[in-house]
Structure 1
Amino acid sequence: MSRTKTLSSLLVIGMALVLSSCSNSKQTQNKDNQQAAIMVNMDLMSLDISNGGGTTWEALNNSMEGLYKIDHRQQPVPAIATKIVQPTDNQQTYTFNLRPDAKWSNGDPVTANDFVAAWRRSVQPTAKSGYSYIFSGIQNADAILAGQKKPRDLGVTALGAHKLQVKLDHPMPYFNKLMALPAFFPESHSALQKFGARYGTKSQYLYFNGPFKITDWDGASNSWVFRKNKYYYDRQDIKLAAIKCLVIKDSNTAHELFEQNKLDDAKINGVVAKGLQGNKNLTNVHKGGTYILRANLRNGRPLANTKMRQALSLAIDRRSLTKDILADGSVPAYTYTSKNVARDPITKKDFGSETQPTEKHNVTLAKKLWNQGRQEAHLQGTVHLELSGNDDAITKHVAEFLQSDLQKALPKLKVTMKNVPDKTVTTAVRQGNFDAHQTLWLADFSDPISFMGTATSNSTKNDGHYQDPTFDQLYQQANTNATNPTQYWALLRQMEQRLNETVPNIPLYQMVESHLVNPHFKGVVRHPVGLDDYTRAYLTK
């Protein structure tokens, strides 16, 4: 038995013990006590929306609610707000009435001040979530991010216990879509005061206002439980009493747990997904996300030179990567903005399809650019390039492919791999301690600006230190012309073309999630853009 298989079997035994309380009695569960089991691929680092990233969003998306939520048609609908609001004052003011029956999991009412407190925390330049930039466009947010104003100056005001007003610096036609994102969830003002620095570090150190509350997470454990929130205003519509969530990074483990009826929804990839194509329980979900190599452009780093980044991009055989390594329906990516994110209303084409570069895979040109770049950067000897990434199996497999492909194509290049837990690599990347980071950008909402906003010079997601005045100017012009569709989408296309030329992020492949789903597990809403919604899920007999 191989080492991988042995480790997988040991993990299955451990996971099975954890899951037994949820799954062994599934056949005898009554209608009011349904329990399901799902998984995520990465560790949960925090439950503080102001200081947590991807997995934090996944967890809170099913246990918190903001002003709006996204329905099965991918459209915003009211959640804590009583209706979809139309802007006033030249499309720069939104005034929301909040549900008076919305409560936190301790029984306190959800108030406008809870939104004000949360947004002020999240917009601080020191917020660890990295999502402060997404507040750009709300009045004074850019000045706050630049350190020129205080968080209290943000254009969000409580006009009463259940009335919230938001003012913008300029019209934002996608503003209502933003209001469904976890970044704009409220935080209990009393919980922030009560728990202080402990807020969100364990599941017991915060309150929840959504369909479920999170329990059994101690800040480091690889599992937690969503339990039905008795104070949720629409609790009669919630069918599941509990959902067990486990961190599983290996597809073999996920597959085995699914076959043992220990998981109702298992994410798989690579060889496992390839071998199960055609399985009646397999669902492939095309997501609006792009896996990339984010280059560190700081002086002294091997990819600070533009031609060397262009060479790397041209040297990668993405078709072989997606067909032979991933084999899960993933498709090659040649642009930062993924397909399936948005349709250009002017050209009537998928935005990710209409902005493709002319050259995609050209080893001869890659070698030429590589040598020119090395000469410009005064690099005479071997170039050492470290690929950083998470320690899950598929990230390692992709890194191994890139290591082989790049070293074979480009002379005097030595590629090493560094795969560590998500928390470790995230800290290193935010501190600038990396050469190239293998990561994913998943669109937050259905507009290419969701990708473009991460590449501006002042973006808190710009970990590669990309500083391009031309791109920044195009981004600013797009915001200025946001209400003119023809100009807005023309500027978006120019921004994508600029990224194609300067290559701060090397696209690898577009995201496809392969799920093995229990045929009795119904009601999950899967969003091409955004996070899966398990809140109305249920089990049939």
Structure 2
Amino acid sequence: MTKNQVLNLSTSHPLTTLDTDKMSQFGRLNNTIEGLFSATGDGQTELALAKKVTLNQARTTYTFTLWKDSYWSNGDLITAKDFVYSWQRALAPQTKAPDADLFVGIHNARKILDGRLPATQLGVSAPSKFKLVVRLDHPMAELPQRLTYPLFGPQNERIARKFGKRYGTQPQYQVYAGPFMVATTGNTKTHWHMVPNPHYWDRDHVYLSRINVNVYRSPKKSWHAYQSGKLDEVRLWSQSNMKSYEKQAAYTARPYSKMVLLAYRQNGPKVIINQLLQQKAARLAISHAVDREKLAQASYGNTSLPAQGIVPAGLSRGQRGTADFAAAQPNQKTLTYQPQLAKKEWQSALKAMGTKHVTLSVSYLNAINSEKLAKKLQQQLETTLPGLTITLKHRSWVIDEQTGPLEADLTILTQRAQYADPLAMLALYTSSSTANLGHWSNPTYDELIAEASNAPSFNSHRWQTLLKADGVLMTQQGVTPLLQPASTYLINPKLNGVQYNTVGTQSNFKEAYFVK
């Protein structure tokens, strides 16, 4: 290793909160958080703050035994009550974390989210200092995968109550259970940094002495910083840069389990547009009018993948580790470029409305790739679908807030899988899901998702049930998947030991180090 173990990273957004219940994305901060399980690089799980776990015969009660020598960054002991407090706080009406739906399936979570019970009735308890009991409404085969997500980490109740409204607003008002902590001094609006947590249980395997995170407002500035040696990682945005550097040792294309998709607003201010988009034929026409390969090339680049369904490639495999769920998804023809069929479907939908012309608005995120994608999508839809005019409107990205409600007829969204299971994507489009912004609803789909959610193990029946659900969603085009983006980077070749996850949180720097 080198003597200087300082990692320099970039971000486009300043640090806004250190309160895990207020984060919609954890970014670099996932390195300050640890829970009962942690994710491995291949999407599997391993115990972290939990020493062991046992299940009852019905697989509806998990009993976790915590390590007795795990400490917060301030030296406080991490106990089972820290998990109880954290989970109840995430569901409480006054906080209600952006990803609170992830708790559904734990006893009473749904009723708490619906306002029918207080958060104290959540099925989690601490019968002793290092014993945590989690009761479920039904078996949840994917629970360990869910629990790797940072939202399920502990929170120090003593510290939260001590600081009250100031809790998590500044580094000095937060403590950490992960390998790193945010330094309390030296941070500005354009810079913050992490240092090793001195009380972390596995401190001997944390090699970096500091992680600098610098805010760059433009890709051009971050590119110059990398070129001058001030950054160890830079994202490539332009197609020419990707081609120029793809054969260098520093180049990497990093896939991630997320999907860029179109959501349909079916309850907007114009009745005729609502009635149009409520027609399956109209939604299928839009899907069939999209040339996804050209769309990917024009926006995110050749490393991105055309959608095969709502579940991204590489998210989950079959029991024997051979079948990728994404490749096995049924009804993939609903996502193929078929311009002649699209025209017929579109004309049929317009005829049913008694009109020959319609104008639809398309909303996209005000970012480089999103704008390119929106303009290409506009061109493809207007060229293929007769009588259609598309108006584009960009929206700003508000940090740590959920998207919604939809403000355009069609909205380009990016949906991430928070854990390594097809259910992570498919459960988002049930009638009761807060992520289902278009409010598409199908009782058969809801029943299939409920059946898969209740499965006691990752058996073949559960797998087939999830495939059937995906088939219903694609046949109806409740949402229209477009592509699975991959990010391309140049990374300092001397940096080793980074765990790049494809799901949940992206980069784990716990065992990262530089070599000479």
* TM-score, scaled to structure 2: 0.90
1:212-253 per-residue CA deviation (whole Å, 9 max, x = no partner) reads: 112479999354211211121222221111111234465444
**Alpha-carbon separation, structure 1, partners of 2:310 and 2:501:** 19
Q: Which amino acid aligns with 2:173?
A: Y
Q: Which amino acid aligns with 1:187?
A: Q
Q: Which amino acid aligns with 1:419?
A: H
SS of 1:82 mapped into structure 2? strand
In the alignment, what sits opposite 2:33?
64
Q: Does 1:146 align with 2:119?
A: no
Q: How has the CA–CA distance of structure 1 residues 221 and 453 changed in structure 2, closer, same or farther, with 3 Å as cutoff?
A: farther
In the alignment, what sits opposite 1:500?
474
1:343 aligned to 317, 337, 342, which one?
317
Q: How has the CA–CA distance of structure 1 residues 267 and 330 changed in structure 2, closer, same or farther, with 3 Å as cutoff?
A: same
Q: How has the CA–CA distance of structure 1 residues 482 and 45 changed in structure 2, closer, same or farther, with 3 Å as cutoff?
A: farther
2:80 aligned to 112, 115, 119, which one?
112
In the alignment, what sits opposite 2:169?
201
Q: Which amino acid aligns with 1:457?
A: S
Contact 1:202–1:218 at 8 Å: present in 2 too? no
1:371 aligned to 317, 342, 347, which one?
347
Structure 1 position 145, deviation (Å): 2.1
Moved more, 518-527 or 137-146: 137-146
Name structure 2 gaps, 5 residues minimum: none
**Alpha-carbon separation, structure 2, partners of 1:388 and 1:314:** 20
Structure 1 position 325, deviation (Å): 3.6
Structure 1 position 78, deviation (Å): 2.1
Q: Which amino acid aligns with 1:243?
A: I
1:136-173 per-residue CA deviation (whole Å, 9 max, x = no partner) reads: 11111122222222211111001122221111111112
Q: Which amino acid aligns with 1:67?
A: L
**Alpha-carbon separation, structure 2, partners of 1:121 and 1:378:** 52
**Root mean square deviation of aligned Cα:** 2.7
Q: Does 1:334 align with 2:308?
A: yes
Contact 1:335–1:500 at 8 Å: present in 2 too? yes
In the alignment, what sits opposite 1:535?
510
In the alignment, what sits opposite 1:449?
423
Q: Which has the higher contact order (CA 8 A, sep 6+)?
A: 2
2:452 aligned to 478, 481, 489, which one?
478
Q: Does 1:282 align with 2:251?
A: yes
Q: Does 1:313 align with 2:287?
A: yes
Q: How does 1:101-500 map to 2 (within 5 A)?
A: 101-124=69-92, 127=95, 129-215=97-183, 221-248=189-216, 250-271=218-239, 272-300=241-269, 302=273, 303-345=277-319, 348-356=322-330, 357-359=332-334, 360-377=336-353, 381-389=357-365, 391-423=366-398, 429-483=403-457, 485-500=459-474
Q: How has the CA–CA distance of structure 1 residues 419 and 292 changed in structure 2, closer, same or farther, with 3 Å as cutoff?
A: same
**Alpha-carbon separation, structure 1, partners of 2:95 and 2:436:** 14
**Alpha-carbon separation, structure 1, partners of 2:485 and 2:101:** 24
Q: Percent identity?
A: 29
Q: How has the CA–CA distance of structure 1 residues 129 and 368 changed in structure 2, closer, same or farther, with 3 Å as cutoff?
A: farther
Contact 2:298–2:376 at 8 Å: present in 1 too? no
Structure 1 position 416, deviation (Å): 3.0
SS of 1:472 mapped into structure 2? helix
In the alignment, what sits opposite 2:22?
51
Q: How has the CA–CA distance of structure 1 residues 198 and 159 changed in structure 2, closer, same or farther, with 3 Å as cutoff?
A: same
**Alpha-carbon separation, structure 2, partners of 1:380 and 1:219:** 58
Contact 1:387–1:417 at 8 Å: present in 2 too? yes
Structure 1 position 515, deviation (Å): 1.9
Q: How has the CA–CA distance of structure 1 residues 370 and 238 changed in structure 2, closer, same or farther, with 3 Å as cutoff?
A: same
In the alignment, what sits opposite 1:37?
8
* TM-score, scaled to structure 1: 0.86
Q: Which amino acid aligns with 1:37?
A: N
Q: How has the CA–CA distance of structure 1 residues 453 and 52 changed in structure 2, closer, same or farther, with 3 Å as cutoff?
A: same
1:470-501 per-residue CA deviation (whole Å, 9 max, x = no partner) reads: 21111112223343723211110111111102
